[in-house]
A and B are shown apart, each in its own frame.
Chain A
Amino acid sequence: MKPFARVSRDHYAGGLVALIGLGTIAQASRYDLGTREMMGSGFFPMILGSVLLAVGVLIFVSAGRAAADRHEGNDLGAPEWRGWVCIIAGMSLFIFLAERRGLLPATFACVFVSALGDKNSSFKSALVLAAGMSVLGIALFSYGLKIPLPVLNW
């Protein structure tokens, strides 16, 4: 058996939680702990960090083998890079464009780019959807709800 086959999803899960716990403890130790009677800012975070660390270790210890993951139907399938990149890029574009260039280009870019993430969508269908959402979005949010973003700002 290869050594990696023994590292299951729950090992990563437990490790991650324990790591977050350690980070919390480290950060909490920079605040005033106080006394039990007069708890400082660091007391409660310290408790939480310790619980996270303990639970993380417990998850790690009780983790089964990797083979069990598939048995339980926990497989999330192949990585979906196209979808992930497009969704994250679409949202980032919105953040980048909304104040600098206005709501219209931000909406269009966000919908268009994220729509390209679906295997079944074509350049044309994404374009149509983005145009439609832009019109709807401007009408609803700029003129209807009057959110303080410029419509267009070139």
Chain B
Amino acid sequence: MFATAIADLSHGFGVAFQPHNFLACLVGVLMGNLVGVLPGMGVMAAISILLPVTFSMPPVAAILMLAGIYYGAQYGGAICSILLNLPCHPPHAVTCLDGYPLTQQGKGGTALGITMMASFVGASFGITEMIFFAPVLVRVALKFGPPEICSLMLLGLLAGSTLTRGSPLKGVAMTTLGLTLGLVGSDALNGTERFTFGLLDLADGIDVVALALGLFGIAEFLKSVNKIVPLHASRAKLRLRDMRPSRADIKAASIPMLRGTIIGSLCALIPGTGPTIASFISYATEKKLSKTPERFGRGAIEGVAAPEASTHSAVQGDFIPTMSLGIPGDAVMALLLAALTIQGISPGPQLISDHPDIFWGLIASFWVGNILLVVLNVPLIGLWVKLLTVPYKYLYPSALFFVCVGVYSTNNDLFQVGETLAIGIAGYVLLTLGFHPAPILLGFVLGPRFEENLRRTMLISRGDFAVFVERPISAVFLALCVILIGTQIYLKWRKDSVEEPSAPAPIFDS
């Protein structure tokens, strides 16, 4: 198993180092890094704006670039948190707690240096986990029939909607809404037009780019306009020398870094618990294990190292269920999966054997991308900090234009731009009512496949729902669903007695 992994991986590096793939990866991580530091731009918006551009690219390059945006943004988000106390991206909200005090003490450079080390360690572990774990998962998943796939999807959807931030009930509502939006268009089985309300333009369903840009672009602009406080560029200059952590810092941070990595990789294996939850758990763990917990919140280097390692390890691990089972754990993964589908590649356990270029190329590109990020970030940090001061009044009109052209160019259809606007307004209403839009996308992407497998299951079982509990693997997934719901009810019941770790609320959802 080890030898084949090495052989596959070297094949992957061959793919990742092909000039156009390398370029795609570089552009991806740079874009990601950029949107990571820009206030008011989310990962989701960036990926969906660039999605139409990737249609004309070969599938491997397209997926490397889109994935690069995702993990590149994590590096950018950490810079925001540490230097400016701005939790631009939810996973890094907890990094503010100790990162910003370190900056105030003049040790911001050290914190960034440690962050980069932690990110790299965490990411490397996450990637290794993927190399060994994904093929095992595939071998199991290839035995799945429609009932197992159904139950697994149900588990994924439930986890994706209840384990994210906010009320679990509202999460379930949004997932179901997403599933419903996925119904729009012709029924795959018999061609009946559903929920098109007589509009011919809706016969092919709602476009995933229009949905994503409406929810994460337009709705965010409507929410943020005149609400973002302009920043003042009065930061002390960072020099390269400042970023090299001292030996004492490295020693203090190394064990927490490893603990964070492991917590992150475990969180990645549980569907629905993405990087945000991983970083919160690892911060809380460090604080609990520390002999001097009172230092936390006042610039403890462990409080930066552990959550950052954890975030990055979880980000890479997020790809495991997506690439090996075809079941995305969150909205970003759902969008990547949609990108693959648009490229004509059907996601699922057969992906690794059918398209080894994509799978192993992607894994190798993670390493290439992470090294690029570390190398690029050192000289570019000054530039990123300057970019942070770009006022929102310039940012959102430009972004709005890119959204318009981006949606138009998916199908050369202005109707879809209107669709995006309508979805955006509806999305803003939902945001105002305290819903998080991410589960909508998850449900939307999984919806058609969920219905198809449900119908097939019922056909096989002759209409007997008991098939889901009679087949052992399916029964396990359903039991996990029940446990998940039970835990949520239990947590709600004793909510008053448990204090959640307090961090500045993330400005943006992604």
A residues near B505, Cβ cutoff 8 Å: 73
Q: Is B433 an interface residue (CB 8 A)?
A: yes
From B7-15, B320-328, B400-408, give the one contacting chain A: B400-408
Do residues A95 and B173 form an inter-chain contact, with CB atoms below 8 A? no
* A48 to B316 Cα, complex, angstroms: 32
| Beta-carbon contact of B451 and A44 below 8 Å | yes
The answer, yes or no, to whether B396 is at the interface (CB within 8 Å) is yes
A39 to B194, CA, bound (A): 14
Q: How far is the CA of A82 from the CA of B225 in the complex (A)?
A: 9
Which interface class (under 10, 10 to 19, 20 to 34, 35 or more) fits B?
35 or more
In the complex, A73 Cα to B394 Cα: how many Å? Answer: 28
Kindly list chain B residues whose C-beta atoms are within 8 Å of the C-beta of A55: 169, 172-173, 176
Given contacts A36-B458, A98-B414, A99-B414, is CB(A83)–CB(B173) below 8 Å? no
A120 (CB) vs chain B CBs: closest residue = B393
Complex formed: what's the CA distance from A118 to B399 in Å? 14
Partner of A39, one of B226, B401, B458: B458
| Shortest distance between the CB of A72 and any CB in chain B (Å) | 9
A125 (CB) vs chain B CBs: closest residue: B393
B356 beta carbon closer than 8 Å to chain A: no
Q: Considering only CB atoms, which chain A residue lies closest to B180 in the complex?
A: A48
A52 interface residue per 8 A CB criterion: yes
Q: Does B341 lie at the interface of the complex (its beta carbon under 8 Å from any beta carbon of A)?
A: no
Q: How far is the CA of A86 from the CA of B465 in the complex (A)?
A: 52
Contact A141 B397 (CB under 8 A): no
A1 contacts B by Cβ under 8 Å: no
Q: Which chain B residue has the least Cβ–Cβ distance from A18? A: B173
Cα-based distance from A59 to B393 in the complex (angstroms): 37
Contacts A31-B194, A59-B169, A114-B397 known; A9 to B434 CB distance under 8 Å?
Answer: yes
Question: Nearest residue in B to A111 (C-beta to C-beta)?
Answer: B397
> Which residues of chain A have C-beta atoms less than 8 A from B172's C-beta?
51, 55
User: By the criterion CB–CB under 8 Å, are A95 and B226 in contact?
Assistant: no
Flag if A98 contacts B433 (CB, 8 Å).
no
Please pick, from B225, B412, B420, the residue contacting A147 in the complex, using a CB distance under 8 A.
B412
Q: Within 8 Å of chain B (Cβ to Cβ): is A3?
A: no
Contact, CB under 8 Å: B434 / A90: no
Q: What secondary structure prevails in chain B residues at the interface with A?
A: helix
A to B contact number (C-beta, < 8 Å)? 172
Q: Is the CB of A95 within 8 A of B183?
A: no
Tell me whether A94 and B404 are in contact in the complex, defined as CB-CB below 8 angstroms, given that A41-B192, A52-B180, A118-B393 are known contacts.
Answer: yes
Chain A binding site: helix, strand, loop or mixed by DSSP?
helix
Q: How far is the CA of A149 from the CA of B412 in the complex (A)?
A: 9
Q: Which residue of A lies closest to B417 (CB)?
A: A95
**Complex interface: chain B residues within 8 A of A74 (CB):** 434
Interface set, chain A 107-145, CB cutoff 8 A to B:
107, 110-112, 114-115, 117-121, 125-126, 129-130, 133, 137, 141, 145
Closest to B399 in A: A114
Q: Could you tell me if A90 and B173 are in contact, using CB atoms closer than 8 angstroms?
A: no
Cα–Cα, bound, A148→B413 (Å): 10
Chain B residues with CB under 8 A of A58: 169
| Set of chain B residues within 8 Å of A119, measured between Cβ atoms | 226
Q: Which B198-228 residues have a C-beta within 8 angstroms of A?
A: 218, 221-223, 225-227
Out of A41, A95, A112, A115, which one reaches B194, CB within 8 Å? A41
Bound: A35/B465 CA distance, A: 12
- B418 CB to closest chain A CB, in angstroms? 5
Q: Are A110 and B409 in contact (CB under 8 A)?
A: no
By the criterion CB–CB under 8 Å, are B393 and A121 in contact? yes
Contact partners of A17 in chain B: CB under 8 A:
173, 177
Given contacts A37-B459, A39-B455, A147-B405, contact A80 B400 (CB under 8 A): no
CB proximity of A119 to chain B, nearest CB, Å: 5
CB neighbours (8 Å) of B412 from chain A are 147-148
Tell me whether A49 and B180 are in contact in the complex, defined as CB-CB below 8 angstroms, given that A31-B192, A91-B218 are known contacts: yes
CB–CB B433/A91 < 8 A? no
Q: 11 A–B contact pairs at CB < 8 A?
A: A32-B192, A37-B463, A39-B454, A41-B194, A43-B455, A44-B451, A55-B176, A76-B431, A115-B393, A117-B226, A149-B408
Q: List chain B positions with a Cβ less than 8 A from chain A.
A: 53, 167, 169-170, 172-173, 176-177, 179-180, 183, 187, 189-190, 192, 194-195, 218, 221-223, 225-227, 230, 391-394, 396-398, 400-401, 403-405, 408-409, 412, 414, 417-418, 420-421, 425, 429, 431-435, 451, 454-455, 458-459, 462-465, 505
**Given pairs A95-B404, A118-B226, A129-B397, 13 additional interface contacts (CB within 8 A):** A13-B433, A17-B173, A32-B192, A41-B190, A55-B173, A59-B167, A59-B169, A76-B223, A84-B225, A88-B425, A106-B404, A111-B401, A114-B396
Which 10 A-B residue pairs are closest in the complex by CB-CB distance?
A83-B225, A36-B463, A37-B463, A118-B393, A13-B433, A115-B397, A41-B192, A121-B393, A114-B397, A41-B187
